[in-house]
Structure 1
Amino acid sequence: MSTGTDNWQLTDRVRLSGGEVLTGVFGDGGPPVVLVHGTPASSYLWRGVVPALAREHTVHVWDMLGFGGSRPAPGVAPSIARQARALAELVEHWNLEAPDLVGHDIGGGVVMRAHLVEGVPARRLALLDAAVIGPWNTRFTEHMQRHADVYATMEPSVFADIITPRVHTATSRPMPDEVAAAYLAPWAGEEGQRRWIDQVAAVSYRDTEDVVRRLGEVTVPTLVLWGEDDSWMPTAMGDELAAAIPAAVQERIAGAGHFLPEDAPDETAERLLRFLGPR
């Protein structure tokens, strides 16, 4: 597998109760950290962050069920609750005792549900532009949920014309066309269109409501890191999240949008390394 910007690829396949996921492990024996992407991304989001983290940590990444190269089993909805169960199973598969857990977007909700509901131990938690305290769905997602049948029956080329500019708004800095193409590749064609609709339909802040009620129970060090120019989930959401978690550390990165690891990979890695500590 490779961490190169142009040839990011995961090759390890793990069968879980909810389906089969692609995973990768980078580094040479430092403290374990697990990176969980959000929507509509994949592990590709972390490609610029992994090399720096892997110099001090053993970095575990995966494509969530229904994202990237991972596929849910027939009849399995790729909800946050299901992704949290998958994360718990992966932590067990990797034989990790108390890894650092890092989640972006709905990956933040997945991390917190895995920790607080599924009982996954963690040494530290880092939440990046995280979908935890709801309602956090964007107006775009809410519209898709209300009219899923319409979006599902569009011609794939028309659907692509809708989601392509949407992906470009995930960053504050202009996203190169080849990078956007990599994010969009899993959603191409009729199959990709169905997968996009499936994950949109499955994502609900209802899966994080019980997490929100238990945020005061978090006892491990927690970083809430936000892009100052996030147009999908404004910084006020980060303020609320940090205030709800005891002793949480809150930081922002200037000039970065919602896809924080894409907009500012070096600074994101630097902030994470500083928070997670050396090997």
Structure 2
Amino acid sequence: MDKGTEAGVMRSTVRVDGETISYLTAGRDGPVVLLLHGTHWSRVWLPILNGLADAGLRPIAVDFPGMGRAGGELTLETATVPALAEWVARFAAALNLAEPIDVAGHDIGGAVAQHFLAKGPLEISRLALVNSVTYDSWPAPHVVRLLERTTTADEFLRARRQAVTADLAEAATEHLIAEYLEPWADSRCRRSWLAMAGAAESHYTLDLVPALRRSSTPKLLVWGEDDAFEKVEYAEKFASEIPRTTLVRVPGARHLPTENSPGPIARALADFFSSGPRSAREDAGPAALR
């Protein structure tokens, strides 16, 4: 167990495209749930991994190349949503994960998850989005501002500290903020973050909407209601337009709700991914975690 993990959670590696890729996992057997991060890293999923494993699932939270603990480096070409989707498919193949597969995405990882549902290359059986980018909700203004100027390493880290602190909301402590910031001490990781942010274009999610409207795949949205950028109004729109979608609200949480309400979020995701072909949740309408 390495720094930043907890009892029951393991960090493992696998080779993808010649690079050593890191991922967090918990549990040994059970259906796989692939967890995709965005402009943070796999750390966003840590608080709920044991909860998913306790429900009989096998969560796998991967770091994209050059992000978190992963080797490699993203570029503007490899950090687009379609390119990331192709990369995740190669990661899944490297782990011999059987399709169809359950997928959850946070932030830009949610755009990759939506891409699978609309265009492949992975066949997925269930889709969950946690404060994900949707429609034209992205890129966030503070990300655009950071890209508009040349920053030193110290300036970059100050900007990310401010964003992480805001995203963590009431969960923010100096120790937790430092954990989130740690990978960006590496210039390779800073360049990868800038590539992901630079490749962020809302047409990637807007282009998926027609296919999503035709999708019969079960979908769950879990949303921190106080997210200033991926606003709950986008989740409400998605739930009203995209079939077989349930919205679960997380009162008081911002962009990293897994840090604010890990227990209830783990239960909501576990119930969704453990349910049969059609869950009672999917007919229940919007709900809130208390």
Deviates more, 1:260-269 or 1:188-197: 188-197
| Residue identity (%) | 24
Deviates more, 1:24-33 or 1:4-13: 4-13
Q: Given the alignment of the two structures, is residue 273 of structure 1 paired with residue 283 of structure 2, yes or no?
A: no
Q: 1:206 to 1:71 in 2, by over 3 A?
A: farther
1:102 to 96, 104, 116: 104
TM-score (norm 2): 0.85
**Offset from partner CA, 1:57-107 (integer Å, 9 cap, x none):** 112220012311224458553222221111222233333221211111111
What is residue 264 of structure 1 aligned with on the other side? 261
Q: Residue type matched to 1:232 in 2?
A: F
Alignment RMSD, CA only?
2.4
1:156 to 145, 153, 160: 153
Partners of 1:171 and 1:258 within 8 A in 2: yes
What is residue 57 of structure 2 aligned with on the other side? 57
Task: Compute the displacement of 1:49 (Å).
Answer: 0.5
Q: 1:212 to 1:16 in 2, by over 3 A?
A: farther
Q: Residue type matched to 1:115 in 2?
A: L
What is residue 227 of structure 2 aligned with on the other side? 230
Task: Compute the displacement of 1:129 (Å).
Answer: 0.8
Partners of 1:100 and 1:123 within 8 A in 2: yes
Kindly tell me the number of residue pairs found equivalent between the two proteins: 272
Q: 1:65 to 1:211 in 2, by over 3 A?
A: farther
Q: 1:6 to 1:139 in 2, by over 3 A?
A: farther
TM-score (norm 1): 0.88
In 2, the alpha carbon distance for the partners of 1:217 and 1:16 equals 34
Q: Given the alignment of the two structures, is residue 139 of structure 1 paired with residue 141 of structure 2, yes or no?
A: yes
Q: 1:8 to 1:196 in 2, by over 3 A?
A: farther
**Offset from partner CA, 1:124-161 (integer Å, 9 cap, x none):** 1111111121142111112233x1xx33xx33223222
Q: 1:77 to 1:58 in 2, by over 3 A?
A: same
Q: 1:240 to 1:9 in 2, by over 3 A?
A: same
Query: Structure 2 stretches of 5 or more lacking a match?
Result: 277-290
1:175 to 172, 175, 184: 172
Query: Structure 1 stretches of 5 or more lacking a match?
Result: none
Task: Compute the displacement of 1:38 (Å).
Answer: 1.8
Partners of 1:88 and 1:114 within 8 A in 2: no
Q: Residue type matched to 2:136 in 1?
A: G
Secondary structure of residue in 2 paired with 1:249: strand
What is residue 92 of structure 2 aligned with on the other side? 91
Partners of 1:69 and 1:186 within 8 A in 2: yes
What is residue 187 of structure 1 aligned with on the other side? 184
What is residue 124 of structure 2 aligned with on the other side? 122
Q: Residue type matched to 2:270 in 1?
A: L
In 2, the alpha carbon distance for the partners of 1:126 and 1:158 equals 34
**Offset from partner CA, 1:180-221 (integer Å, 9 cap, x none):** 111111112544433332221122223223212311122111
Q: Given the alignment of the two structures, is residue 23 of structure 1 paired with residue 20 of structure 2, yes or no?
A: no
What is residue 254 of structure 1 aligned with on the other side? 251
In 2, the alpha carbon distance for the partners of 1:5 and 1:71 equals 22
Secondary structure of residue in 1 paired with 2:168: coil
